[in-house]
Amino acid sequence: MDLTHRPYGLLAELTYRCPLHCPYCSNSVRWEKPFELNTLEWKKTIQEASELGALQIGFSGGEPLQRTDLEHLVQVAREAGLYTNLITSGIGLTENRAARLLESGLDNVQVSFQAAEHDLADRIAGVPNAHKRKLRAAEIVNRVGLALSLNVVLHRFNIDSLGEIIAFAEDLGATRLELANTQYYGWAYRNRSMLIPTREQVEAAARIAFEARHRLAGKMKVLYVLPDYFANRPKPCMNGWGQRYLTVNPSGFVLPCPTAWEIPGLRFDTVRERSLAWIWKMSESFNRFRGTEWMPDPCRSCPQKEIDFGGCRCQAALLTGDPCNTDPACEFSPHHRLVREVADRRADHPAIDSFIYRQNP
């Protein structure tokens, strides 16, 4: 098998059910109530991913703890030799479940937090007492001896308290902290004018994160994900379409990227009808933007095309209406102003409760 062309990671979106309503949720806004894959279907999918070369699996959602077969699926993944990560809100994690997950071979738990301070955190999550329950979950993760990682999505309401967020993660005993500026797809796109920070906010946060990364090296790994809208070049999205990763959504549709469902006109295949290997190698969706042949100018003649792969197809589709276009985050895109002007059209003093909150299927 060609080692440069295999899915290293599988994102298993077990369910879109979720107790929270975060206004930046990356789940699709166009989602109908899914007919979720059952345990056997997931088991087959995980084993097929391993045969294709996957080495990592992220159990995600929605809230994956809503699935009662989560422990079993973790065990299946471990037996197939995968590194297993649980991406959770923490809501619903009891000591009993955490112990069972540890026993099943779970390698890491990533708990999301909305802020370091509970009132703000609950207002962002759209659920009372969410923060308190998350704190309890993080304590349980530590107590049973699982590795704890934290993820905080950044936006104008919490980015100024980044120092507090980092101290909060240290206090909780996290071994890794992912500070992810909001990416504007799905629900976040709907709330963009409220969520988008200023350039000054983003730059100040980057300095704080950079300092913390050095100060805490060896103790807590700090990652700061730069926001596309303030960059001059696009990110190498998914390390290239259909190159490294695959996502399976709750109904079994296989996507080259978790937000690809939003791309109009792209047809996806499901593990209910096809093998994962066929979908990875042969399907129209995985081959549509593979390599560089599909690229129009300015990407086609750009020396960066093997570095950033033209950026994000979902963002190109969302902002320009055509997924083939250069990602507007790139300064060479003729649509770059679509990104530049957004920062100037921020909502003035938005009330935090006026978000369009994420609805659940």
Partner 1 sequence: MPDLSDGCTGPFSRPCLAKRARLQIDPVSGKPVLLSQEAVILLNRTGYEILEQCDGTRSVAAIIDGLGTRYSIAKTTLTQEVSEYLEKLNQRGLLQWI
Q: Give the footprint of partner 1 on this chain (CB under 8 A).
A: 1, 3, 6, 8, 50, 53, 55-56, 81, 83, 85, 107-108, 110, 145-147, 149, 175-176, 217-221, 223
Q: State in angstroms the smallest separation of the CB of 220 from partner 1.
A: 7
CA distance 347 to 192: 9
**C-beta closer to partner 1: residue 59 or 268:** 59
DSSP structural state of residue 217? T
CB 185 within 8 A of CB 319: no
**Residues 6+ positions from 328 with CB-CB distance below 8 Å:** 315, 316, 319, 320, 335, 336, 338, 339
**C-beta closer to partner 1: residue 215 or 272:** 215
- Which candidate, 96, 83, 30, places its Cα nearest to that of 54? 83
Q: State in angstroms the smallest separation of the CB of 91 from partner 1.
A: 20
Q: State in angstroms the smallest separation of the CB of 73 from partner 1.
A: 17
Q: State in angstroms the smallest separation of the CB of 94 from partner 1.
A: 21
CA distance 282 to 289: 13
**C-beta closer to partner 1: residue 60 or 285:** 60
**C-beta closer to partner 1: residue 215 or 300:** 215
Q: State in angstroms the smallest separation of the CB of 55 from partner 1.
A: 5
**C-beta closer to partner 1: residue 281 or 337:** 281
Q: State in angstroms the smallest separation of the CB of 215 from partner 1.
A: 11
Q: State in angstroms the smallest separation of the CB of 317 from partner 1.
A: 27
Pair type for strands 254-255 and 245-248: antiparallel
Chain-centroid distance, C-alpha 115: 17
Asked, as a colleague might, if the bond just before 298 is cis with ω within 30 of 0, I would say yes
Report the 10 Å Cβ neighbour count for 136.
15
CA distance 3 to 250: 28
**C-beta closer to partner 1: residue 218 or 265:** 218
**C-beta closer to partner 1: residue 239 or 354:** 239
CA distance 183 to 193: 13
**C-beta closer to partner 1: residue 1 or 40:** 1
Report the 10 Å Cβ neighbour count for 288.
19
Residues paired with residue 235 on neighbouring β-strands, in sequence order:
none
The DSSP code sequence of 51-83 is: HHT--EEEEESS-GGG-TTHHHHHHHHHHTT-E
The DSSP code sequence of 13-31 is: E-----S---TT--S-TTP
**C-beta closer to partner 1: residue 127 or 166:** 166
Q: State in angstroms the smallest separation of the CB of 53 from partner 1.
A: 5
* Residue that is written with structure tokens 């709907």 in the block: 190
Q: State in angstroms the smallest separation of the CB of 251 from partner 1.
A: 26
